[in-house]
Amino acid sequence: MNFFDTPLWRYRMIHGIGGLVIGSVLLSFPFFFDTDQFARVVIGAFAAIFILGGSMYIHSARKTPKDELILPARSAPPSIQISYFRFMLWSSVVAFPILTAFIAYQLHRLKSGLVPAVNIPKPAAMVYEYLGFWPAVLATPLLGLSCCIAFIWAMKKAKLQVENGSPAGG
């Protein structure tokens, strides 16, 4: 095991402790902030979810062998790589147009003067601030197209490995 290999048990333990900490912080909110009954119930429900998830992560970390590692997608068998990159490709095909429409709608409302401020992702806001409306709207589909090209390229590379009978990560 080298420096960059992460044991799976440590990954799960860190996430479990993080869930417990976030749940505990959420539980403390009603003591420090003035909240109504509904807010207390919602915060309590989210805290319970985080605490339960954290407990499950810690439980699975204790059962995980100490020598099991988290491996990058490139070390998986080519057939699994193909299905992974296909899923990511279709996720990008769905998510980026929705995000583009959301950003365009919000910026149009802002530019029309219908609202004084909008909430959009920080990179899109920076592009809008420095370059204007159209570059901010078109940056998201360009990023999506770049992701799709990268996923297609990775799937083709994995398919070549399947055809050549190369081992995983080869």
**Residue 81 near residue 74 (C-beta atoms within 8 A):** yes
Q: Pick the closest to residue 167 from 46, 91, 74, 40 (CA basis).
A: 74
**What pLDDT score was predicted for residue 166?**
67
Distance of alpha carbon 102 from alpha carbon 11, whole angstroms: 34
Output 6 or 106, whichever has higher pLDDT: 106
As given in the structure block, the two tokens for residue 14 are 């860190």
- The answer to whether residue 168 scores a pLDDT higher than 60 is no
Of 167, 24, 9, 162, the closest CA to residue 82 belongs to: 162
169 pLDDT exceeds 70?
A: no
Write down the pLDDT at residue 1: 55
| Entry pTM | 0.61
DSSP SS3 for 7: strand
Query: Could you read off the pLDDT of 111-142 as tens digits, one per residue?
Result: 999 999 999 999 999 999 999 999 999 999 99
pLDDT at 3: 57
pLDDT tens digits, residue range 71-86? Answer: 776 677 888 889 989 9
- Over 80: is that where the pLDDT of 99 sits? yes
pLDDT at 71: 73
Backbone angles phi, psi at 163, to 5 degrees: -65, -35
Question: Cβ contacts of residue 67 below 8 Å, gap of 6+?
Answer: 1, 7
